[in-house]
Amino acid sequence: IDVSISKHSASASITSDNSSYSLAGAKYRVYEGKTTKGKLLGELVTDENGYAQNKGITVSYETTHVTFVEVQAPKGYKLDSEPIIVSIQNNSAHADISETPLLQKLSVELYKTSSDSVITDGNENYSLNGAVYEISYVLNDKNIVLGQLVTDEKGYASGEYEGIPLGVNTLCAKELSSP
C-alpha cells in the first residue's frame, strides 16, 4: 500500500511568513491496524510543504486500517501524539492533519515618568495615576491589540499576555490618555 500525510497549520494567519514555524520535519510512525500495538510499517518525515509519502508498504491481506502517530513535531508546533486511524482504500491510506502552532506568553512592565520633575515633584496638581496605554504587536504588517494597561500613582503598570505567536518579541505601548 501507499501511505501519506498532508499537514497544514491550524492558524495560517499566525504561521505564514513566520520563520519560527515550519511544516518540515514532522516525524510519524505508521503501524498496521487500528492501534500502535500492530506491526511498525515505517516512518514518514514531512517536507517543507507538510507532505510525506511511503510507497509500497507490505501489509497482511486482512489489514483494513493503519495508524499514524506523531513522534516529532515540526519547528514551532505542538507535538500531537494522539493516534490517527486511517482506513485503507484502493491500496492507499492518507491522513490530512491540522497542526497546532505553539504560542507564547509575554510580560509587560511600564513606568511613566515626568518629563520635568522640577515642576511635578511635590506638586499635588500633578499625578501619574490613570494613564491608559494600549499594548499591541505587529504581525504580517497588521497591528494586533492585546489590551490596555492603566498606571498607578507611581506611574507603574504591568500585565501578562498569552497567545502571542513565536517570533514576536517586541510589544508596543501607545499612550491613549494621560492622567
Q: Which cell is 146 given?
A: 492585546
What pLDDT score was predicted for residue 120?
A: 77
Quote the pLDDT of residue 115. 84
Strand-pair partners of 168: none
pLDDT at 172: 95
Helical H segments across 82-170, by residue range: 117-120
pLDDT computed for residue 28 by the predictor: 97
Going across the sheet that includes 2-9, the strands are 51-54, 2-9, 92-99
Q: What are phi and psi of 120, to 5 degrees?
A: -90, -30
Cell numbers for 81, please give them: 501524539
The residue ranges of the chain whose pLDDT is under 70 are: none
Backbone φ and ψ for 9, nearest 5 degrees, come out as -75, 135
Other Cβ atoms less than 10 A from the Cβ of 124: the count is: 5
